[in-house]
Structure 1
Amino acid sequence: MARPSAARRGDLFAAECPSRQVLQHVTSRWGVLVLVALRSGERRRFSELRREIGGVSEKMLAQTLQGLEGDGFVERTAHPVVPPHVDYRLTRLGLQVAGHVHELADWIEASMPAIEHARAQRGAATSTG
């Protein structure tokens, strides 16, 4: 019996590699925020996510959720009730990627004083040069 071929690792540097689209979904502004917001593993309604993620439009949140769902990171559950009730949660794969994204987001938040200082230094250097 033939063995199934092993899945190949992605190559982000290859122009046509589908891993680039996954990277875009995960690292987009809204993708990062959705993954971090869902990191608890609890089911969340669309309206809850929209309230928590300041500045995201309904359209962008819907597109972000669809992209993450397509990549297997988010599970969407539609409940057969009136009015419609849809909720979202991370899959096992989604919890893994959310952990990595959360580390980056946490580092950025913790490093903001140093980043702001570097920005101010850079601004002072460019205004005198």
Structure 2
Amino acid sequence: MEVTKVEDQHLKIQEKIEKVLTAKQEQEQCCPVKDILARFGDKWSIYTILMLGRHEKLRFNELKGLISGISQRMLTVTLRALEEDGLVNRTLYPEIPPRVEYVLTPLGQSLLLQLLELADWAKLNIDQILAARVRYGKKEGAK
């Protein structure tokens, strides 16, 4: 039996999903993919990456002013995590007062490109998503 292009693509997608979900739990404390997605999947990390992508280089207070609703502590935690993962470089200038600047690393830039792809997908599908939410709301209201 001949495999069509669509079926072949479906098989490749299924293989990729299987690889992500079947990490050897005995050898690893946690699935690295889940760990990475959890780290970058929160809104503060995404906003931080997007803002650094837009402005290229920002100081802490500039970044805080651009991300509506983020607390100083949450921005500190987010920047430390992104720096730990190699997505952001932090440069401290020995001045008085000290000046600290943040920029995306090449790895951070590559993640930015993926976030922009996801944003494009959301824009393309917003009407379907909103319609589905309305249908769901009607279904839930009928219960």
Q: 1:107 to 1:50 in 2, by over 3 A?
A: farther
Instruction: Look up the match of 1:54.
Output: 68
TM-score under structure 2 length normalisation: 0.72
Instruction: Look up the match of 2:132.
Output: 118
Give me the whole-angstrom Cα distance separating, in 1, the residues matched to 2:123 and 2:71.
23
Q: Note the C-alpha offset of 1:109.
A: 4.7
1:1-129 equivalent positions in 2, closer than 5 A: 12-13=20-21, 14=23, 16-40=30-54, 42-109=56-123, 111-129=125-143
Once the two structures are superposed, what CA deviation does each residue of 1:32-83 show, in whole Å capped at 9, x if it has no partner? Answer: 1111111146211111111111111111111111111001010001111122
Give me the whole-angstrom Cα distance separating, in 2, the residues matched to 1:76 and 1:35.
13
Provide the aligned C-alpha RMSD in A: 2.0
Greater displacement, 63-72 / 32-41:
32-41
Q: Note the C-alpha offset of 1:128.
A: 0.9
Q: Note the C-alpha offset of 1:110.
A: 5.3
User: Which has more helix, going by share of residues?
Assistant: 2
Q: 1:103 to 1:91 in 2, by over 3 A?
A: same
Give me the whole-angstrom Cα distance separating, in 2, the residues matched to 1:86 and 1:114.
43
Instruction: Flag as ranges the 4+ runs of structure 1 deviating above 6 A.
Output: none
Q: Which has the higher contact order (CA 8 A, sep 6+)?
A: 1
Give me the whole-angstrom Cα distance separating, in 2, the residues matched to 1:83 and 1:111.
47
Which of structures 1 and 2 has the bigger CA Rg?
A: 2
Aligned length: 119
SS at match of 2:100: strand
Q: Which ranges in structure 1 are unaligned for 5 or more consecutive residues?
A: 1-10
Asked whether the 8 Å contact 1:76–1:87 carries over to 2, the reply is: yes
TM-score under structure 1 length normalisation: 0.79
SS at match of 2:103: strand
Q: Note the C-alpha offset of 1:17.
A: 3.4
Greater displacement, 52-61 / 37-46:
37-46
